[in-house]
Copies of this chain bind each other. A is one copy, B any other.
Amino acid sequence: MPRQSEQTNRSRTRPDHLHGTLDALVLKTLSWGPRHGYAIARWLEQTTDDALRIEEGSLYPALYRLEKRDWIEAEWGMSELGRRAKFYRLTRRGRAELQREADEWQRFAAAVSRVLLAEA
């Protein structure tokens, strides 16, 4: 049986909204300190109360992408539970990128809200 039943499904947002924001979310998550992939996904789900669910098939490609662009770097280590895990750390360039993307998102979100909340 699936690990997520239909009843528990507290209306999650449409999948493809993430387009273009996933990078920023991951970078932000890593700004608290190094984390491994699985932990990133869990953290995002928790702190957004399940509004944002990151599929692993999206997350790992995103991590490789970010690494290739030198925004994060990886290092093998041990998770708190004693399993091997690849820890990702934000680079200096990554921190700058995060700043840029976060600002950009604010502008975008403000613009969309201005439209969607406009009246008569």
Contacts and interface: CB of A to CB of B under 8 A. Distances in A.
Interface of A: 11, 13-17, 19-21, 24-25, 28-29, 32, 44, 47-49, 51-52, 102, 104-116, 118, 120
Contacts of A113: 106, 109
A21 B111 CA distance: 11
A108 B51 contact: yes
Contacts of A49: 111
A18 B84 CA distance: 38
| Chain A facing B: main interface SS | helix
A71 to B, nearest CB: 15
A109 B109 contact: yes
Given A44-B115, A114-B48, A118-B47, A17 B21 contact: yes
Contacts of A13: 104-105, 107-108, 111
